[in-house]
Structure 1
Amino acid sequence: MIESENILKMSQDASLLAETKDYFNKLCQYKYSYHFDWMERPIIQFPQDIVAMQELIWSIKPDLIIETGIAHGGSLIFSASMLAMLDMCDAMEQKQLMDPSTSSRKVLGIDIDIRAHNKEAIQAHPMASRIEMIQGSSISTDVIEQVKQIAQQYSRVLVCLDSNHTHDHVLAELEAYAPLTSIGSYCVVFDTVVEDMPKDMFPDRPWGPGNNPKTAVWEYLKSHPEFEIDKSIEHKLMITVAPDGYLKRV
């Protein structure tokens, strides 16, 4: 109860919010999210969001995690390692030996360009047996159909959107993949924070304030009441790349 009160007070502290925003923007000048690995693969996330995803995965216990955007594969490895721990706990409860190759839990990654060296590193990783990758645009009809065919085999699905960050692309991803999210699970839209950052932070990118994942989330939610923004997560984190991006299916 005390922690909940402190989290609420933090979220209402105007000076702290302003200082946090300034701190976040300064960190981004040094490509802060690129400083971290997960099991020797670059994860390109803020540590706070990694912890939040750990909490969600452990709570939801998904059978399938769908991720758009692969990059170096760190996020895939992270998700696979969390599923491995879920499998280990299941095996311990059932007093059975765990065979990773027989696990039904899977991470499905989609990227328009999976670089050969990244693909090789992911496939050589100890978590590889839990990972499947699809190369192609996440909003192309054939890729969406492949993902839907895979997702229908699973009962608990968690979705993470982290590829092209333009409004139109993310909105198309939401239309395609958010419906695959299980009730009680989440569709997490990363880099919604772009809306709150200075325009000159993205000189070589097609996205920026007014055209980004957060504007896509706001547009999507106008016609999809089955999702709601879980503000409690960003209030707890304070520093996150996904404000208004933790969408819970209710």
Structure 2
Amino acid sequence: MEKSNTLKNAADVFMRESISERYSYNFEWLGRPIIQYPQDICALQELIWTVKPDLIIETGIAHGGSLIFSASMLALLEMSEAVLNGEMLDPSKPKRKVLGVDIDIRAHNRKAIEAHPMYPRIEMLEGSSISDEIFSKVKKVAANYSKILVVLDSNHTHEHVLSELKLYAPLVSVESYCVVFDTVVEDLSNDAFPDRPWGVGDNPKTAVWEYLKTHPEFEIDQAISDKILISVAPDGYLKRTAS
């Protein structure tokens, strides 16, 4: 599909038109708004099933749909393993966990997340993802898990995402991923986000490019973008290939 310019051009037109119409706000996961494109949701599902992480760390919580999604994928992993091993699954004692970080977890969102059936495998931290206090708590949690996947989807400025990459990418296990969302900002016009502090030249994609200059242990998994075509994370699926 990456060789079809017609298809790629059609996908590009759809991305530009759909972003201006806030298309990603149409979707929920198990009852919570997820604010993602279905193609990226599907790509994440494939990664989680392949990597089988013990811990998923996410920066940016919003309405909690992404946390619920990740928790449900981890629940399915545990269920499938229990079936294959002939074991009884105890939902009250999950082995895998999702850790979410947000600078502002609004009360109504926290209440809805805490009331959700997937909440037993979710932990939330409120504060800046790049503050010393919050990251020390993240590292303390991460120390208890051996296979970690990271999703960065908070403040989308170059400086903030680069700081997140420097902190969180080293937590990613070899053969796992650091997924950086909204790299698509670099491919849009400067007036696409008039009310936000990021734009062309100052966004998650520029942060990814800068980080990769000095971190050869990560590489862009271009096959993912080539396959799904429609994505808010072009160049954002980073696979860790070495320690």
- TM bucket, shorter chain: over 0.9
Question: Is 1:22 paired with 2:13?
Answer: yes
The counterpart of 2:33, out of the listed 42, 63, 87, is: 42
Q: Deviations over 1:193-223 (max 9, x none)?
A: 0000111110000001100000000000000
Aligned sequence identity (%)? 64
| Structure 2 CA distance for aligned equivalents of residues 97 and 230 of structure 1 | 36
| Comparing 13-22 and 168-177, the one that deviates more | 13-22
Partner of 2:174: 183
* Secondary structure of 1:11's aligned partner: coil
| Structure 2 CA distance for aligned equivalents of residues 134 and 209 of structure 1 | 30
Partner of 2:96: 105
| Comparing 69-78 and 15-24, the one that deviates more | 15-24
Partner of 1:69: 60
- CA-CA distance at 1:23 after TM superposition: 1.3
The counterpart of 1:31, out of the listed 19, 22, 26, is: 22
Question: Is 1:207 paired with 2:167?
Answer: no
The counterpart of 1:58, out of the listed 30, 49, 56, is: 49
| Structure 2 CA distance for aligned equivalents of residues 151 and 104 of structure 1 | 13
Q: How does 1:53-202 map to 2 (within 5 A)?
A: 53-202=44-193
| Structure 1 CA distance for aligned equivalents of residues 155 and 237 of structure 2 | 18
Q: Which amino acid aligns with 1:205?
A: R
Partner of 2:4: 13
| Structure 1 CA distance for aligned equivalents of residues 79 and 8 of structure 2 | 39
Query: Where does structure 2 lack aligned partners over 5 or more consecutive residues?
Result: none
- CA-CA distance at 1:177 after TM superposition: 0.2
Query: Where does structure 1 lack aligned partners over 5 or more consecutive residues?
Result: 1-9
Q: Which amino acid aligns with 2:161?
A: V
| Structure 1 CA distance for aligned equivalents of residues 216 and 30 of structure 2 | 38
| Structure 2 CA distance for aligned equivalents of residues 172 and 93 of structure 1 | 41
After the TM superposition, which parts of structure 1 deviate over 3 Å for at least 4 consecutive aligned residues? none
Q: Which amino acid aligns with 1:193?
A: V
Q: Deviations over 1:64-106 (max 9, x none)?
A: 0000000000000000000000110111122222112211200
Question: Is 1:222 paired with 2:222?
Answer: no
- CA-CA distance at 1:13 after TM superposition: 2.3
| Comparing 93-102 and 235-244, the one that deviates more | 93-102
Q: Deviations over 1:138-178 (max 9, x none)?
A: 00011111101111111100000000000000000000000
| Structure 1 CA distance for aligned equivalents of residues 189 and 228 of structure 2 | 21
Q: Which amino acid aligns with 2:213?
A: K
What is the TM-score of this pair, normalised by structure 1? Answer: 0.95
Q: Deviations over 1:100-120 (max 9, x none)?
A: 221120000000000000000
The alignment yields a C-alpha RMSD, in angstroms, of 0.7
Q: Deviations over 1:177-203 (max 9, x none)?
A: 000000000000000000001111100
Instruction: Give aligned pairs, total.
Output: 241
